Structure 1
Amino acid sequence: MSTGSSAPKGVFGFACLATLLLPWTSVAADLPLKAQPAEHVKVCAAYGPGFYYIPGTDTCLRVGGWARMDTYLNVAAIFSQGSAFSGPGYSPFAFPFRDKHDADYFTQGRGVAEIDARTQTDYGTLRSYFRGGMEWDSQTGPAAGPGAALYVERAFIQFGGLTFGYTQSFFDTGIGYSIATLFAGSNTWNTTAAYTAEFGNGLSASLALEDAANRTTGVQATGVRITGVSSPSDFPFVTGGTGAPLLYANYQGGQQAPDVVANLRAEGAWGLVQLAGALHEVMAVTPSYLGAAIPGIVDTGQWGYALGAYAEIRLPFIAAGDSLYLQANYSDGALNYAGLAAGNQNRLQAIGYIQLNGAGLMNGAYYPLADAVMGSSGSYEMVGAWAVQAQFRHFWTPGLRSAVFGGYVSVDVPDNIVGAESFAMWQAGVNTFWSPVRNLDIGVEAVYTAVDGRQPLGIVNAVAANGSAIPTLVGGSADALSGAVRLQRNF
């Protein structure tokens, strides 16, 4: 006979079982739940190799890029203002002067990422594209030391035949087999709003509005060659004078309209052919010495134009990958379309170089660049130019290729403009690239550049904004041999 309280046997048994299982229940609560099936990245074959679907979306993405190391010998761009570098040490002489402060070589490291995203819609493919990154330069500018900078090649959106953003100008093809950007011919990146109509069988036509910023060269004042003073050694900048500037006064007006660019293009397995045209507005302000009460308030404008013809002919019967590229350009009041930029994003105002020694000036050349030249009456006339370029690339083996290239550009300043000089510039070069493994290029290049003018290097009295005379060197001839070494890995 029990003297204590008792519970039903079933309840007692359940309590004992719960006590025994409690630790295991706690452990089970800590175990992870069964994982959901992972969504694997799927290949997107619609747009070619390298594209994959972004998980959970219908957008196809390709990611790539490249890393590069360049070494330029004799600074390949010594002829162009904006690309030439005066030494970072003490020197009163900037472009176009060359002296012992200027480095004989220049190095650059650049890393670029490429992102291409595409989505198929009821209205066609929606595409966004970016290619850019960072670079390090051993000299960041005239009289400046090393440093890093952002670098952008492309940033655009395409949809239904429309293109908006920063990309290759629709005037150009963007084809080039050289490391250096050739002076002859057009090859410019720009912001654009364009429409391309596809007619089938590789035939298309484009109409674009492009920012004139990378195409505007300037409007230069004219001068009178100083009578009785023709030796460059008498130039006051060198002999301890006032330090007069070398550029003609630039009367470029404010940008009011974009360039209008159109092309007609045919492309196939055989290569491509493109015809292009452009309209470029030239704006000039009236200087105070010609009656402007406030400089920069009064301006006038007129339209220049440019024409271009391009062809790439593929030559597989010589060797796989062989091709010949030809380009011809003409411009009137739109000088950049004929070349002389020495870079995809450059717009220059002068070209040439003058070598210095301890006794004064040696031989050299210096020429201002302009879309138009203003006369003494305040009216201005367009500057004309034409250019031809040829490049040939040959594959000795699948991993070894060479290219030979050259170009000629002629700048014609109106003959009735006193002191403004016409000149011609030509280049010839060769390079060889070895690819020991896929996507790795190791190359060397040599380029000869010459500029020839009708007049010897001498002094011109250019006109300042207030009408006073500015002694300015202009004319002459010069040449240079430059080179480059490139190592690049694409991925």
Structure 2
Amino acid sequence: MNIKSLLLGSAAALAVVSGAQAADAIVAAEPEPMEYVRVCDAFGTGYFYIPGTETCLKIGGEIRAGVSFGEDLSGGSSWQSNVRARLAFETKSDSEIGTIGTYIRIQSTNTGEVSGDSTVGLDQAYISVGGFRVGKITTWLDDVGTASEGDAFINDANFNTVTYAYASDAFAIGLGVDDLSAYYVGSKIGVQGYASATLGVATMTLWGAYDFEGEEGLVVGEIAADLGPGAFELYGAYSTGANAYVASARTIGAIEWTVGAAYALKATEKLTITPSVNYWEGQTGIDAWGAGLLAEYQLASGLKASATVDYYDPDTANDSWSGFVRLTRSF
């Protein structure tokens, strides 16, 4: 075999191999385009766009663990551990009829008892369009009282309800219709409303509610103001009679009227100390008074330790002490 024949044979072999490789070549598929989560800053911090939509979603929650202690009216004492967990989902989006939102908060509480009470429940769930809301809502009555743990007047502020609120820089007003069927046989309703105005360092708020089945109502007034290194609160409330909105206090029954005051002292950047005092009179004329001291310390962003001691002295029974120590993590 001469050199010429060898070269021609090699070229032919290379052509065959190259053809086979070309026939068997694998073409890699291009990857699908990825859509990364985008931050949504149109409605505040913590929101992000749900991929593929223009709806903004915010996820938050809280775990609160603590020990409560107390002394009953006979002088006996006890303590109990407790844990509460909350998980909240909030969405918002712009539309031709205004901002459309939803809010869902799921909650469960456990007190360490053998039977337990850890059933997961729907605490809040509502739809909002502008200032209009409909669903299961913790209403404005939840704001009645001071920044302390010893006040008591409102029995329940969480209802299936329809509300509308308007707010400007210095003024806010709202009106709602509540389903009170949980307190009566059959479908019953109540109404509630509030108005608030801010003048300088002071904010004045007025609440009112009426239970149509009980044919009784309530009115509450409060003034809050920044004074010195803290905030002062003073409120008074009156109920015409027992109804679904108003609480009952130990030994005095349904509350007829109450007055309370508290001062949240900003002792340091992280420590707030709040002394408070309250007085109640029941529908039967029996009265009671109490005082408390609440301390809250911000350990870190989203982590707070708190403790309180409260004293209660009813007119017709022994006085008693109660309180708690808690650690709360929110996100």
User: C-alpha separation between the residues in 2 aligned to 1:181 and 1:122?
Assistant: 46
Q: Which runs of 5+ in 1 are unaligned?
A: 1-10, 80-96, 217-252, 284-302, 342-350, 353-366, 371-383, 414-421, 453-475
Q: Which has the higher contact order (CA 8 A, sep 6+)?
A: 1
Aligned equivalent of 2:99: 125
Which amino acid is 2:268 matched to?
T
Q: Which residue of 1 aligns with 2:7?
A: none
CA contact (8 A) 1:185 1:389 kept: no
CA contact (8 A) 2:61 2:87 kept: yes
SS state of the match for residue 42, structure 2?
helix
Aligned pairs for 1:52-451 (under 5 A) are: 52-74=48-70, 104-139=78-113, 145-173=115-143, 176-178=146-148, 180=149, 182-184=151-153, 188-198=157-167, 200-212=168-180, 216=183, 254-267=185-198, 270=201, 272-282=203-213, 303-315=215-227, 318-319=228-229, 322-335=230-243, 337-340=245-248, 351-352=250-251, 369=253, 385-413=256-284, 422-451=285-314
Measure the CA separation in 2 of the matches of 1:122 and 1:311: 38
Name 2:319's counterpart in structure 1: 479
Aligned partners of 1:261 and 1:122: how far apart in 2?
Answer: 29
The residue type equivalent to 2:89 in the other structure is I
CA distance in 1, matches of 2:153, 2:93: 39
Contact 1:204 1:264 in 2 (8 A): yes
CA contact (8 A) 2:232 2:261 kept: yes
- Between the aligned residues of both structures, percent identity stands at 22
| Residues 163, 195 of structure 1: 8 Å contact kept | yes
The number of residue pairs the alignment matches comes to 321
- Cα pair 1:184 1:408 within 8 Å, conserved: no
Looking at structure 2, the residues matched to 112 and 165 of structure 1 have their Cα atoms a distance apart, in angstroms, of: 18
CA distance in 2, matches of 1:436, 1:45: 28
Q: TM-score, normalised by structure 2?
A: 0.84
Instruction: Name the SS of the counterpart of 2:140 in structure 1.
Output: coil
Cα 1:20/1:155, change in 2 over 3 Å: closer
Contact 1:264 1:276 in 2 (8 A): yes
Structure 1 distance, partners of 2:134, 2:198, is: 22
Deviation at 1:174, TM superposition (A): 5.4
Instruction: For structure 2, list consecutive stretches of 5 or more residues without a partner in the other structure.
Output: 1-11
Report SS of the residue matched to 2:39: coil
Moved more, 393-402 or 37-46: 37-46
Distance change in 2, residues 1:190/1:326 (3 Å):
farther
Question: 1:323–1:393: 8 Å Cα contact kept in structure 2?
Answer: yes
Distance in 1 (CA, whole Å) between partners of 2:181 and 2:150 is 19
The structure where strand makes up a greater share of residues is: 2
Matched, 1:489 2:322: no
